Structure 1
């Protein structure tokens, strides 16, 4: 548990836009504004600043800009006419990165209080308002925007530019209702990386009248927030093996692990220990040893999934934990390679195959990490490779069109079967674990290494082609 000083430096300041009449609508907790205040009091919030009506949209935006310039950390901006689950707000406020993110939903058509957005790769690629259109939109923005510390300068500049445009009438008949929508448009067009925090089955709705407010509050009771938190702790975009053969049962260990006060790093350590024991049994070289080694390797991978699920459930991600998790994956895999080679009576050939498999995996990891590093650099505002800032006076965003290899890949994503095939082609850690366990248990180490080199080589070519195509785009 962090001490008070650490908690103070990691919490977020909140700007509540109480600039519309709807924020004074009544509910069982007083007004909608009171209800949001009570919810924010249960979350890691540094302070709550309420902007009240007094000057129109331009004044509201300038107020946000002023707060952004003096805030010592991340800033969350949301309208006080919002009716939302506390867990929905926690998707942003309790995320350890405290980065720039927007709350979005994939299950509703755009409406005046639900502007359209286009999400690509878990990031908001385009955002709309009554003035800005979004061709190819696939989600809606639900009014909650968090801006990380590194983007606060951009937020202030965007808010001031939007204020001037609104006051001079160049954005059309926009009103204070759209303040947060316009801020999201501005951030995206200025090149800020905005994470799309998916609402899932939770609710977050802006309301305009008493009947709508009562209906929105009533809908909140239809969802079990605790169950949603448990469900979302399980990775939604994992590989086939992890999704269907591991996560369905490891999810039931999350709450017991919390009650036992186990940390994700502790679970990672136990996972490493099981992998070492697996290698020891593989080194025995007999059928019984390979079977037990395969079982221990499976359990090691299951705990590897559990540590991530536990981190997401407790929202206790750390840089050390992420690094340790990635390093443990490599360590466990290579220790198992050594154990398999020791247990195979094949002389120098088996060691050459083991070393080749290790080198191939290092190359594949380099392809992924180097591309991720380049993408992170390119996303930084002001980077020579980053997206140039776009004028806020352009009414529409560029149509979403993929070509060539990427076009084919994105069309394949429309089919559930082809999407799973794509995930399996790249031979992620779950599929590698299954491949090693099955081939070692049924055949021997030579078959295991040949299978890893064949499938891994094809995966490396597939990844390299995809990265080249994405970089070119």
Structure 2
């Protein structure tokens, strides 16, 4: 569980125009019990940290007293930064840092804290300018030639002083630090792995010594991300997507934002997030379109993921028994049953993510019995072929089993090797330097070095090809994932025979193995 730090003194939206009202003084009358903003936030965070650290200015601190945790009173921005540094130095777990005036969905907090990134920030990109025809206006000067600037533009009350790419924050500015073509604001929640806590502490102390250079509009959390980025920490980004997050600075905003928040279907977003985003074509279009609703139905009736896994196993064994009859009716029944065995195999994971019920036993059952169902069906098909007079297909069954076993071995071994491989470090520059020009130059040099060589060029080209939808799904299917394998067994078994089924599994599986092995060899050599 992460250590929670609430920034009660974060300048936040519209700080330049005057002090904001402490979130403890803002009520949410439309919600049951009429909680305050900070009271609601404490309730949401209780399962993560029952005693969070709240950092607030002395004038506002009285409003935060009486809530669980530690209240740290400060007198200025430098004090805020040093208080964050103290909290980071004492951290023994991951950190979740967010403004105390945050109005946010539970699901968004969960998604941010469960991220595997070493650092993740919630951002919003500034809308791009459009001309009278609705076309985006392209800047006259390419970004490579653009000069760093200290932006005076605001979005959602925050200064647009961050540059975000597709997956991470490139650069962050302040009233002192200039950024090349800023395009985003850092909204609030920042999740940080404990290994980066010492870096945050050092950066926060250095920023505290520079506090006289910052303006009243500079946001405390944005300054923290600035320190991380300047010290070479990769800060990933996440948008709000189909969930709600806003900072509340007045009672009028509190009333409006509660209404806006109610317009979002948090349960539907939670259900959608329970589905893996990297599933194959068959799983995406022929299973997950409805399996998520089965998962929600199961959750509301108290079923556990392990119970659903047992249902999937039973359907897989029943499918093998039907295939073993060798009769056409049995083959059709076997195809239907193996399809639904796979459906419930997807449901158990979706149920675990939706209900947030995870366990070592469940993970072991899911990984082990996926293989069991597949291989017991191979046996059923082979027995059925002998019974129906198709012939001895045991050799084909053993080859298919061998191909899949080798592929699984390669998958696990490559994954283990990748986890041991240290990430490529990002460049860093001193926080005392105002423009981000040296940082961008270092990033460009890193990009050229990483993309150099024939193998890296080919990998980059193949990666870019994935932006085309047809190529994206072709790449997904060629590796022959589990959804496609079960689909082949169901369709070929029901409409043809065991021989055709095994030949399809062997040929497609061999092509998928060769494709995966080639890609992994190239990535290992690049």
TM-score by length of 1: 0.81
Structure-1 residue corresponding to 2:484: 431
Cα 1:406–1:91 shift into 2, 3 Å = same
Residue 263 in structure 1 maps to residue 304 in structure 2: yes
Task: Please give the secondary structure, in 2, of the residue aligned with 1:156.
Answer: helix
Task: Please give the secondary structure, in 2, of the residue aligned with 1:78.
Answer: strand
Contact 1:84 1:204 in 2 (8 A): yes
Contact 1:12 1:75 in 2 (8 A): yes
Which among 516, 519, 523 is matched to residue 463 of structure 1?
A: 516
Residue 325 in structure 1 maps to residue 343 in structure 2: no
Which among 340, 344, 363 is matched to residue 303 of structure 1?
A: 344
Superposition deviation, residue 74 in structure 1 = 3.0
Cα 1:312–1:175 shift into 2, 3 Å = farther
Distance in 1, matches of 2:116 and 2:457, equals: 36
Distance in 2, matches of 1:349 and 1:327, equals: 28
Question: What do you get for the CA RMSD once the two structures are aligned?
Answer: 3.5
Task: Please give the secondary structure, in 2, of the residue aligned with 1:238.
Answer: coil
Correspondence list, 1:229-268, <5 A: 229-268=270-309
Which among 83, 105, 108 is matched to residue 63 of structure 1?
A: 83
Distance in 2, matches of 1:189 and 1:302, equals: 47
Structure-2 residue corresponding to 1:316: 357
Superposition deviation, residue 249 in structure 1 = 2.0
Residue 147 in structure 1 maps to residue 192 in structure 2: yes
Cα 1:174–1:262 shift into 2, 3 Å = farther
Structure-1 residue corresponding to 2:16: none
Cα 1:68–1:469 shift into 2, 3 Å = same
Superposition deviation, residue 456 in structure 1 = 1.4
Cα 1:164–1:101 shift into 2, 3 Å = closer
Distance in 1, matches of 2:486 and 2:283, equals: 10
Superposition deviation, residue 65 in structure 1 = 2.8
Distance in 1, matches of 2:116 and 2:512, equals: 34
Structure-2 residue corresponding to 1:204: 245
Superposition deviation, residue 432 in structure 1 = 0.9
Structure-1 residue corresponding to 2:142: none
Structure-2 residue corresponding to 1:3: none
Cα 1:229–1:327 shift into 2, 3 Å = same
| CA deviation profile, 1:147-188 (whole Å, cap 9, x unmatched) | 34x42xx31333223421452479x64778443334445556
Superposition deviation, residue 408 in structure 1 = 2.4
Task: Please give the secondary structure, in 2, of the residue aligned with 1:52.
Answer: strand
Task: Please give the secondary structure, in 1, of the residue aligned with 2:20.
Answer: helix
Structure-1 residue corresponding to 2:54: 50
Distance in 2, matches of 1:270 and 1:461, equals: 34
Structure-2 residue corresponding to 1:8: none
Contact 1:92 1:101 in 2 (8 A): no
Superposition deviation, residue 435 in structure 1 = 1.0
Contact 1:57 1:175 in 2 (8 A): no
- Structure 2: segments with no counterpart, 5+ residues: 12-18, 30-34, 58-73, 129-154
| CA deviation profile, 1:133-157 (whole Å, cap 9, x unmatched) | 58998x8753212234x42xx3133
Residue 156 in structure 1 maps to residue 198 in structure 2: yes
Contact 1:234 1:309 in 2 (8 A): yes
Superposition deviation, residue 190 in structure 1 = 6.1
- Structure 1: segments with no counterpart, 5+ residues: 1-10
Contact 2:291 2:347 in 1 (8 A): yes
Distance in 2, matches of 1:188 and 1:365, equals: 38
Distance in 1, matches of 2:458 and 2:276, equals: 27
Distance in 2, matches of 1:188 and 1:269, equals: 47
Cα 1:270–1:166 shift into 2, 3 Å = same
Structure-2 residue corresponding to 1:102: 120
Structure-1 residue corresponding to 2:28: 29
Residue 350 in structure 1 maps to residue 350 in structure 2: no
Structure-2 residue corresponding to 1:87: 107
Contact 1:56 1:175 in 2 (8 A): no
Residue 368 in structure 1 maps to residue 411 in structure 2: yes
Superposition deviation, residue 451 in structure 1 = 0.9
**Equivalent residues, number:** 447
| CA deviation profile, 1:27-78 (whole Å, cap 9, x unmatched) | 4438xx9414313313413222111133544433332232233344332111
Which among 73, 93, 117 is matched to residue 73 of structure 1?
A: 93
| CA deviation profile, 1:376-429 (whole Å, cap 9, x unmatched) | 223xxxx5x653673454833525676523322332232222222221121111
Task: Please give the secondary structure, in 1, of the residue aligned with 2:44.
Answer: coil
TM-score by length of 2: 0.74
Contact 2:172 2:229 in 1 (8 A): no
Residue 408 in structure 1 maps to residue 461 in structure 2: yes
Distance in 1, matches of 2:37 and 2:178, equals: 31
Distance in 1, matches of 2:7 and 2:217, equals: 9
Contact 2:124 2:187 in 1 (8 A): no
